[in-house]
Chain A
């Protein structure tokens, strides 16, 4: 074997691949490095200098501006819309299904899909600036029913939260089992708005759900829990004499917060809370609401069990919550309705409410 052939072969291949690798690395540094970008928010109200290269959603979160999202940046929830007047680049194929014609004209984009590559001009609704992140400690995790757990979390020392009763928090899980990344899901706050250093959430186990399985199997007392919030348009308007509240399952959470809010603020509204459960096993907070009923005559608690067993000795309303609603509420005059539950329950109840004269302006529920 001629030594010089081996030398030339190996040498030239090594040289050429070496040079090409260096060129690619340099190109990567230049092309993938977006440098510092200036974000102009709300026409100069806020100006941020950020490192480019990440999605707008995560870049803003890094600057403590939390845009609502339910899917963690996977473009399946469509909640992270932000108006980007300049600097977003052309509309991406992944954004197309979520942005309507009108929104495209208004420069609305999915912030989880667009990368910060240069200076940008954004418009962010004022209320989103109130949203903060909290690293709470899980003080207690209690079984309320066979599939609902109550989490009571203490905020870090010195930090407080101001929320409107009815709003929700984003709850961040940690990787567990086969789930390799954190996910976050929205849960309504069930604690009193007057408590500024604690948060309570009611979480029902959903079969196959990433977050609820985490809460029901991996979470322990004393764990650190990350939350952000408060979010949401579901809160008390009160432009009426009576509040009709309807909930099922873990939907009780924001209603509990609302009821305490009205009582603690001494508001004059009458309240009727229709709580729908499939079986007696699905009921919880029974004593607490019975007590409130006793102390505050303005509040009436109407639990409805769809299928009570004879041995339960159930004396309350039987049947679906829609039956009680139909029979016990006469008109929508002077009333507002607050609902929280599964889509089927919401649809059935809203239909009845509208028949009774409630309108889109007097019916409130979370749509996520």
Chain B
């Protein structure tokens, strides 16, 4: 084979290799994108940076997000395994957090109302334990972002731990101790939700300035509706 033939052959092989590389990279990207919807994967907790950005600068006390002195308290009763709660957290709450919570009009208290299945209890306690270290809302939002199929068994210890680490819980040993203690608190708020007459999640109750007790409301179906309810209570 002379130099020109060899060169032609090499260029053909190189072009083929480039084509193959493009196909492989595109296939890898497509496969990894389609995997993202499965959720519940302790190995791949996604969205930590986004959650951290959205909550940056907002005070967190236990499971209360927002200025402790805010005149209106919004109690959200949710189950971490509940897909409607996850959708609500993604579509409706961000606008409220960005406006009424950030400007000190309202604070949101996440309370567990475990209705989906047995893993909802340890999951709820795990969130409360993260709340003990000022990361409760990071935990809840990150859990929702990585939520798996209801009662598929994904919310095991490995998943709960992975969410805690990604949520920025610093002292994991303390978190582990706290979550064992806090299951009773999850049961308490679940009872409270039943007493308030709620039958599903997410459910909401408001307490305005001067009010002594939480007032249950129908779950607002849009950010605007929740915003109006908060203004009405304030």
Q: Are A and B physically bound partners?
A: no
List the interface of chain B (C-beta within 8 A of A): none
